[in-house]
Amino acid sequence: MRREACLPRPGWQQKLEQLGFDYYVLEGKAYWTEQACYAFTSDEIDELEAATQALHGLCLKAVEHVVGNKLWQRMRIPPAWGQYIESVWRRADPTIYGRFDLAYDGKGPPKLLEYNADTPTALYEAAVVQWYWLKDAKPHADQFNSIHEKLIDAWRGVAGRLSSGALVHFARFDEQPEDLATSEYLRDTALQAGLTGKPLAVPQIGWNGRRFTDGDEIPIQVLSKLYPWEWMVHEAFGVHVLSDTTAFLEPAWKMILSNKMLLPLLWEGFPSHANLLPAFETEHADLRGAYVKKPIFGREGHNVTLVAPGLFDTAGGNYGAEGYVWQAYHPLPVFDGNHALVGSWVIGDEPAGIGMREDERRITHNNSRFVPHYFV
């Protein structure tokens, strides 16, 4: 694994915009860069794929553990939701996607930092934008990327459980360019799988006393939402979810996996697993003073604090009210001063590809640069 300097494609901005990827600059800083790329060997890609598959399997066992033992209090999930989560888990409500964030340097095994299982973004960049970059910049190389095909397959699986031509609503905040692109890309792949898709702003979701509806009073049967479960649970319409008249994607059992309490849970269930880091509910002696403190319901690096001998970094935010977990500090590899993070996608139940993010800081955040990759 290495980072290579690359010559940007002539007219690269126009190429990105032609793909609808117009947020390559965020808050005045480059979000997409093709002045560099990450290069992997096929063995390294195999290792990432195998680790992703293994972690997905562990996560499903963790869900069963939480559901079977009703660990709602520990997961900071309102107990009233336990029965609903159990029912959607038992009937195997489908999942479309999730993204593991992994620390990987090509030398040791990939280590799970967290699982963005409910509302992951950077999907379009990983599935489409970097693929076109590969075709232009490295036409003889390959890329760990079957995200697009697997998304369509996953939607076909959903379609198989619905009536012909079923309508799926896609809810998001249009003002957030990444959210909009992710939701629209999901809708695109759903259409290619034969479903009908209709966009919807989150605040436009209605409740008519019996069902969720869209702005045209059409009942919402299936809702692909780019809005976190832990927020929905506490908002005014949250209680209506329990009527179970609408199917949600991601399903409510993903609340268990997008929750940082998953990390200590996994470490308890599978101690010393090669792809896991020690993690605890308190500052534990086994951390030996080198840890990353993460809010149980945190996002995009907010309220994360990193402590290690000679190191301290912290990121502000509004998370942490529900408590924190402590995970052993495992440094990200540094290339040319950039801390590199692997985002490894699970589509349906399969590893599907990666997207590389990098940042000068040790704590990756929502605007950390996306950098394309290839392997030979």
Partner 1 sequence: MSRSVKLVVMGVAGAALLYSCAPGASAGLRTLPYLWFLPNPFYRPAATNCPPGANVDCEQQTSSSTSGGSSSASRGGSSSSRSSSGSSSETTTSTPTYSQRGGFGSTGSHSSGSS
Residues within window 343-372 making contact with partner 1, judged by CB under 8 A: 366
- Least gap, CB of 142 to partner 1 (angstroms): 8
- We find the least distance from the C-beta atom of residue 309 to partner 1, in angstroms, to be 29
| Smallest distance, partner 1 to C-beta of residue 310, A | 29
Q: Where in 226-245 is the site for partner 1 (CB under 8 A)?
A: 226-228, 231-232, 234-245
**Span interacting with partner 1, options 82-90, 274-282, 330-338, 349-357, rule CB under 8 A:** 82-90
Give the shortest CB-86-to-partner 1 separation in angstroms. Answer: 5
By CB under 8 A, tell whether 29 contacts partner 1. Answer: no
What is the C-alpha to C-alpha distance for residues 369 and 202, in angstroms, rounded to an integer? 27
Q: Indicate the residue among 12 and 287 with the shorter CB distance to partner 1.
A: 12
Q: Is 125 in the site for partner 1 (CB under 8 A)?
A: no
> Segment 137-176, which members bind partner 1 (CB under 8 A)?
146, 148-149, 152, 161-163, 166-167, 171, 173, 176
Least separation, in Å, of the C-beta of 52 and partner 1? 17
Contact range with partner 1 by CB under 8 A, out of 24-32, 111-119, 262-270, 284-292: 111-119
Asked whether 94 and 231 are in contact (CB, 8 A), the reply is no
Q: In angstroms, give the least distance from the CB of 140 to partner 1.
A: 11
Residue type, 343: G
Q: For residues 52-81, which are near partner 1 according to CB under 8 A?
A: 64, 67-68, 80
Question: By CB under 8 A, is residue 305 in contact with partner 1?
Answer: no
Q: Please report, as residue ranges, which positions from 258 to 287 form the binding site for partner 1 (by CB under 8 A).
A: 258
Rounded Cα distance between 159 and 165, Å, is 8
Binding segment (CB under 8 A) for partner 1, from list 117-125, 267-275, 303-311, 345-353: 117-125
- Residue pair 354/339 in contact (Cβ under 8 Å)? The answer is no
The residue within the footprint of partner 1, chosen from 109, 157, 219, 320 (CB under 8 A), is 219
The residue count for the chain: 376
119 binds partner 1 (CB under 8 A): yes
Distance CA(41)–CA(39), nearest Å, equals 7
Neighbouring CB atoms inside 10 A of 231's CB total 12
**Distance between CA atoms of residues 175 and 123, nearest Å:** 17
Q: How far is the CB of 362 from partner 1 (least distance, A)?
A: 18
Q: Is 4 in the site for partner 1 (CB under 8 A)?
A: no
Stretch of 15-23, 31-39, 105-113, 261-269 contacting partner 1, by CB under 8 A: 15-23
Q: Give residues with Cβ within 8 angstroms of 274, minimum separation 6.
A: 51, 109
DSSP secondary structure of 18-51 = HTT---SEETTEESB--SEEEEE-HHHHHHHHHH
Residue from 25, 30, 92, 274 in contact with partner 1 (CB under 8 A): 92
**374 counts as binding partner 1 under rule CB under 8 A:** no
Decide if 294 contacts 306 (C-beta within 8 A): no
CA angle 324, 252, 198 (to 5 degrees): 120
**Contact between 87 and partner 1 per CB under 8 A:** yes
Decide: helix, strand or coil at residue 132: helix
The answer to the question of residue 13 lying near partner 1 (CB under 8 A) is: no
The site that binds partner 1 (CB under 8 A) totals a number of residues, namely 99
| Options 5-13, 209-217, 273-281, 344-352: segment touching partner 1 (CB under 8 A) | 209-217
- Residue 90 binds to partner 1 (criterion: CB under 8 A): yes
Q: Three-state SS for 287?
A: helix
Our CA dihedral for 95, 185, 344, 271, rounded to 10 degrees, sits at -30
CA distance 123 to 260: 21
Interaction between residue 185 and partner 1 (CB under 8 A): yes
**Residue 20, C-beta contacts closer than 8 angstroms, at least 6 positions apart:** 124, 181, 184
* Strand pairing class (25-26; 350-359): unpaired
Q: Is 316 left (phi over 0), alpha (psi -120 to 50) or beta?
A: beta
Of 273 and 365, CB closest to partner 1: 365
